Amino acid sequence: MVRGAFFMGRRPREEEEGGIYHIIQRGNNRESVFREDRDREYMTGLLYLISKTGCKIFGYVIMGNHYHLVLKTGKELLQKVMHRLNLRYSKYYNKEHDRTGHVFQGRYKAIPVREEKYILALLRYVHQNPVKAGACKRVEEYGWSSDSYYRKGKNGWVETSLVLEMLSKKQGIALKKYAQFMSIEEKENFEGVTVIGAGVPTTAAGGREKENAEKEKRKSVDEVLRATGVSEEEFNLIKAGSRRRDLTEYKLRYAREAITLNYTLKEIGVNINTSDIAVFQMLRRHI
- 0.95 surpassed by pTM: no
Q: Which residues contact 197 (CB under 8 A, 6 or more apart)?
A: 112, 113, 114, 115, 117, 118
Q: Give the C-alpha distances (Å, rounded to integers) separating 42 from 34, 93, 127, 190.
A: 10, 9, 19, 26
Distance CA 63, CA 33 (A): 9
Where do the domains of the chain lie, and which CATH numbers do they carry?
2-195 (3.30.70.1290), 218-285 (no CATH)
| Contact call for residues 245 and 252 (beta carbons, < 8 A) | no
In this prediction, the residues of the chain whose per-residue pLDDT falls under 50 are 1-12, 200-211
The CA radius of gyration of the chain, in Å to the nearest whole number, is 21
Contacts of 157 (CB under 8 A, 6+ apart): 47, 48, 51, 52, 57
State the pLDDT at residue 155: 77
